[in-house]
Each structure stands twice: as structure tokens, then as C-alpha cells.
Amino acid sequence: MYQAASQRYDTMPYRRCGRSGLRLPAVSLGLWHNFGDTTPYETMRAMCRTAFDHGITHFDLADNYGPEPGAAERNFGRILREDFRPYRDELIISTKAGYLMWDGPYGDWGSRKHLLAGLDQSLKRMGLDYVDIFYHHRMDPATPLEETMEALAQAVRSGKALYVGLSNYDGPTLEKAAAILDELHCPFVLCQNRYSMLDRNVEENGLKEAAVQAGRGLITFSPLAQGRLTDRYLHGIPADSRIRTDGRYLKEKDITPELVQKISALNEMAARRGQTLAEMALAWLLAQPAVTSVLIGASRPEQILDNIRAVENTTFTPDEWEEIDRICGAE
């Protein structure tokens, strides 16, 4: 059913998460938009099989991924039972808690009650005894940071998580959190944040630099800026685009003439490099020493294969770095 391990891991680079011993594939698969109940099960199954067959060993989820919340974990749990149970020790499975999941005062944010109850629910949905990485999904301005970090440490002590991570944190909060987790001897290995050519927030809020200084890895989501860093919107909005079929996170008003001009210029540059725009956008992230892995989303197996090709050329000249910054307005 699957390629032999010697073939599976031949072409995918694996990178350490900061100074830890854990390595992730350069390209990881995010089970967000397209692993809810609106996607045919066989399509989800084919995407996971294709990813694993080509060296993607890391599958990233969260309790609220759907639609509906919880659906992605339930669907992935079924795929694990039917296809991946013999390969559990070859997989890195991550999930998160921190966004709204159930009614009442304990259903979201960063309390000990929410995080540990949320992790138990996630394990039940996926049919797992443990996850490899458990994240706090977002900063909580109301809960003491010490409480949230102690809950993550408890998840590891209980054997329900091997490592912990922080998602959507900024640099100053990351520094404080890392110090607390170090005192607790908790294996905090990875930061997950949105990052792309068009979204440089991790550079502006200090997260990227703080992760490097703390010796933690950085895994980036939305590396294609919700599909904007592709050629799909160069000539209008396709009927099968995410804008038309979903509309929750990317809207028609986001595709401005100024954006199309940037995309067109980047697309021309990618063609000179012998890449698609999507490949160049992923390669741009992978060329940065701070980045451990990029999280891709997909709606069909062929997109996964297209994105994996980014690892074949992650070298940029100084002039190319400057040109990308100029086009994106990041100088």
C-alpha cells in the first residue's frame, strides 16, 4: 500500500526543531480547512496517504479544526485506524487547544481546566494514547502565563504529550513562556505562527528572533497567504476557489488590484527561477534558518505533490531577496 521506507524518506529533508532532538519534514501537512465534514472522506484519506508516501511524517491538527469543530480530529482518527496504525512510530501528530470548543466558562483560552480537558477530548477523537506535540493555540491575556505553562508541563508528565509548543504568540510573551517551561523541565520545542512573503508579522512582533534566541523551532502556517501566493487569482476569482466555496478566511475584497500587481510580479520572478509561484513562496520560507517546516494545506493529493517540489530549490541570491522584499513592500 505504501512505498518502502527507503523510498519514502529519500527526497524529503528533515530539520531539527531548534536545539532539540526532534526533526520535522521540511513540508508538513495541516489538517485545517479541508479535513472537516464538507470534504469527502476518500479525498482526505488519499491526501494523507500521498503525503506519507512522499516523506511528510508530520500531521498538524487542532481541536477546533473543521467544520464543525472537532471534525478534523475525528476524520483523522478514522484514517489512523484504517491506514496508519502500523506506522504510528513514524509519525509526528500535533494538536492544539485554546480556541472556543464548548459552552460555558471553561471552553476556551488558556486555563489549566481548558487545556487538559481539551487534550483528553482530542485524544479520544483521534483514538490516541498521546500526541507528539501539544500546543497552546493562542495567548490568553486573562490567565496567568504560569498556569498555562504548568498545564502544558502536566500534559507531558502525564504521558499524553511528548513535547509542547506555542501557537500565535509574540516575541516578548514567548521569551517569558520559554523561561517558565525551562524551569519546569518541559520539552518546549516549536512555535507555530502565520508567515509568508505577504505577512511578516513574526518579524515585526519579535517572535522569529525570540524563537531563534531561545533555541526553538518555527513552523509556519498560511505560507501561501490563503492561496494568494499562487497564480489562481491573476485573472479573476475562479468559481472553485476558496473565496467562492468557503469565504470564512479569504474574501473577494482581499483580492485588490494592488495585490494582483504584486502576485503578477512574483509570478514572473518564479518563472525565471523555474518554479511556480507557490513553490517559490514555500522555498522562500525554507531558505530561512529560523524556519523548521512549512505547513501546507491541500484540497487534493496533486496539490501536495506540487508543493513538495519546493524543496528542490531553496537557494536565493541577494538580489532575489531584495527583489521579493521590494515587490512585497517589506523593504
Length of the chain: 331
What's 209's domain CATH number? 3.20.20.100
- Whole-angstrom Cα distance, residue 8 to residue 20? 24
* Beta bridge mates, 291: 218
Helix (H, G, I), strand (E, B) or coil at 16: strand
Q: Per residue, what are the HEC states of 217-254?
A: EEEEECCCCCCCCCCCCCCCCCCCCHHHHCCCCCCHHH
Residue 6: the pLDDT is: 63
Closest CA relative to residue 275, chosen from 287, 264, 266, 288: 266
Biggest CA pair distance of the chain? 54
At how many degrees (to 10) do helices 301-308 and 277-286 cross?
60
Asked if residue 202 is part of any domain, the answer here is yes
pLDDT tens, residue order, the chain (331 aa): 556 666 789 989 999 999 999 999 999 999 998 899 999 999 999 999 999 999 999 999 999 999 999 999 999 999 999 999 999 999 999 999 999 999 999 999 999 999 999 999 999 999 999 999 999 999 999 999 999 999 999 999 999 999 999 999 999 999 999 999 999 999 999 999 999 999 999 999 999 999 999 999 999 999 999 889 988 877 656 555 555 455 555 665 767 889 889 999 999 999 999 999 999 999 999 999 999 999 999 999 999 999 999 999 999 999 999 999 999 987 5
Helix (H, G, I), strand (E, B) or coil at 58: strand
Asked if residue 269 is part of any domain, the answer here is no
Residue 188: the pLDDT is: 98
Q: Which ranges of the chain does DSSP label H, i.e. alpha helix?
A: 5-8, 41-53, 71-79, 112-126, 145-157, 171-183, 201-204, 207-214, 242-245, 257-272, 277-286, 301-308, 318-328
Asked if residue 216 is part of any domain, the answer here is yes
The C-alpha cell that represents 321 in the structure block: 531577496
Helix (H, G, I), strand (E, B) or coil at 177: helix
For residues 160-177, one letter each, b for 16 or more C-beta atoms within 10 angstroms of the residue's C-beta and e for the rest, the string is bbbbbbbbbbbbebbbeb
Cβ atoms of residues 263 and 229 within 8 Å: yes
Asked if residue 204 is part of any domain, the answer here is yes
Asked if residue 165 is part of any domain, the answer here is yes
pTM to 2 decimal places: 0.94
* Beta bridge mates, 192: 167, 219
Query: Which distant-in-sequence residues (6+ apart) come within 8 Å of 319 by Cβ?
Result: none
Asked if residue 208 is part of any domain, the answer here is yes
- Whole-angstrom Cα distance, residue 25 to residue 247? 30
Asked if residue 325 is part of any domain, the answer here is no
The model's pLDDT over 115-132, given as tens digits with 9 standing for 90+, comes to 999 999 999 999 999 999
Residue 244: the pLDDT is: 45
Asked if residue 331 is part of any domain, the answer here is no
Cβ atoms of residues 138 and 96 within 8 Å: no
* Beta bridge mates, 165: 135, 190
Query: What does the radius of gyration of the chain's CA atoms come to, in whole angstroms?
Result: 19
Query: Which distant-in-sequence residues (6+ apart) come within 8 Å of 138 by Cβ?
Result: 98, 99, 109, 110, 167, 168, 169
Distance in angstroms between the alpha carbons of the first and the last residue of the chain:
48
Show the domain range for 206.
Answer: 5-235+278-314
Closest CA relative to residue 32, chosen from 82, 67, 84: 67
Question: Dihedrals φ, ψ of 199, to 5°?
Answer: -130, 100
Residue 159: the pLDDT is: 98
Residue 238: the pLDDT is: 54
Domain count, the chain: 1
